[in-house]
Amino acid sequence: MKAADALNLAEERLAEAGVDTPRADAEFLVAHVLGTSRSGVHAARDRELPDEFGALLERRRNREPLAYVLGEWGFRRLVLKTDPRALVPRPETEVVVERCLALLRGEPGPRVLDLGTGSGAIALSIADERPDVRATAVDAAPGAVALARENAERLELDVEIREGDLDVAAEGWDLVVSNPPYVSPDEWDSLQPEIREWEPRDALVGEGLHEEIARLASTRLIVFEVGDGQADHVADALASLGYADITITPDLTGEDRVVDGRR
Ligand code: GLN
């Protein structure tokens, strides 16, 4: 089948399957099998697609996240390997990295901990954009630790990656950053199938972890990603634990997404 026909077919099939953005996803899938970018697809309209395309389309029709189907996904300046061992890196988490970089400006060689690193997105981006940072990335899930290591190796970025729990926050850091599980169990049923049926539940569902980390942490700077409607509560918790200069930053959709402070 030619790329142009495959695009139309895939768009139709993905729309039937309830995918939110069927045209964009069709373009990503076609681009992937042709080894081009999404914007390169139009120049390739007459090319024949390899058979592999059918299998990838079928996976996306089953509502597997596009990032897992493609096996990699862009995050800030990096392309990260993505699979069900960790959450898909999300655009709102790029704002978390932005805040870390802003807070670390002018600090020579800071020690940074990314707690619950998943694919490694936050720690690896900080290491990429601030090569003098001494970054450590920790996750409780062995699969996530393995994936983060694969990403560090692929990208040739120097980050210490280890399996561990929240207590690592107490080891003494200049900055602790975390995008912990913050979806409440009641919200679970309302999540899209891409999330509910494919992403690791332990990376998503959790309550009170921001407060627990902030309480345990031995750090001057702390940066959290928070869920919808959680920013004020997390900011209050930071204030009552003695953190100052508390800042709330919205994501690109305008939802308050990042809370940070210092002590
Ligand atoms: N932002 C994710 C979601 O929408 C949740 C990430 C997390 O729990 N840390 O499901």
Sequence spans of domains, the chain:
3-62, 84-262
Q: Whose CA is nearest to atom 9 of ligand 1?
A: 181
- Spatial distance between the Cα atoms of 130 and 258, rounded to a whole number of angstroms: 20
What pTM, to 2 d.p., does this model score? 0.96
- Spatial distance between the Cα atoms of 209 and 249, rounded to a whole number of angstroms: 19
pLDDT of residue 3: 95
Q: Whose CA is nearest to atom 1 of ligand 1?
A: 227
Amino acid sitting at position 54: G
| pLDDT band, residue 122 (cuts 50/70/90) | very high
- Spatial distance between the Cα atoms of 38 and 156, rounded to a whole number of angstroms: 26
In the chain, % helix, strand, coil (3-state, to 5) comes to: 45, 20, 35
In the chain, the largest separation of any two C-alpha atoms, in whole Å, equals: 63
- Closest atom of ligand 1 to CA, residue 204: 8
Is the sign of the CA dihedral 165, 124, 220, 93 positive or negative? negative
**SS3 of 187, please?**
helix
Amino acid sitting at position 120: G
| pLDDT band, residue 169 (cuts 50/70/90) | very high
pLDDT of residue 165: 97
Total number of residues shown for the chain: 263
pLDDT of residue 163: 98
Burial of 263 (0-12, 13-18, 19+ CB in 10 A): middle
Residue 230 backbone phi and psi in degrees, to 5: -100, -10
Cα 183 to ligand 1 centre (Å): 6
Is the sign of the CA dihedral 226, 230, 232, 235 positive or negative? negative
- Closest atom of ligand 1 to CA, residue 92: 1
Cα 255 to ligand 1 centre (Å): 13
> Which of these, 180, 263, 257, lies nearest to 220 by C-alpha position?
263
CATH number of 84-262: 2.40.50.100, 3.40.50.150, 3.40.50.10860, 3.90.870.20? 3.40.50.150
> What is the average pLDDT value for the chain, to the nearest integer?
97
- Spatial distance between the Cα atoms of 110 and 105, rounded to a whole number of angstroms: 10
Q: What is the pLDDT of residues 26-80, one digit of tens each?
A: 999 999 999 999 999 999 999 999 999 999 999 999 999 999 999 999 999 999 9
Instruction: Classify residue 79 by its DSSP letter.
Output: E
Q: Please give the structure tokens belonging to residue 225.
A: 């990603």
Cα 182 to ligand 1 centre (Å): 7
Q: Whose CA is nearest to atom 2 of ligand 1?
A: 204
Pocket around ligand 1: residues whose beta carbon is below 6 Å from it? 90, 179-183, 195, 204, 225
Cα 57 to ligand 1 centre (Å): 25
Q: Please give the structure tokens belonging to residue 126.
A: 């900080």
pLDDT of residue 263: 92
Q: What is the pLDDT of residues 220-254, one digit of tens each?
A: 999 999 999 999 999 999 999 999 999 999 999 99
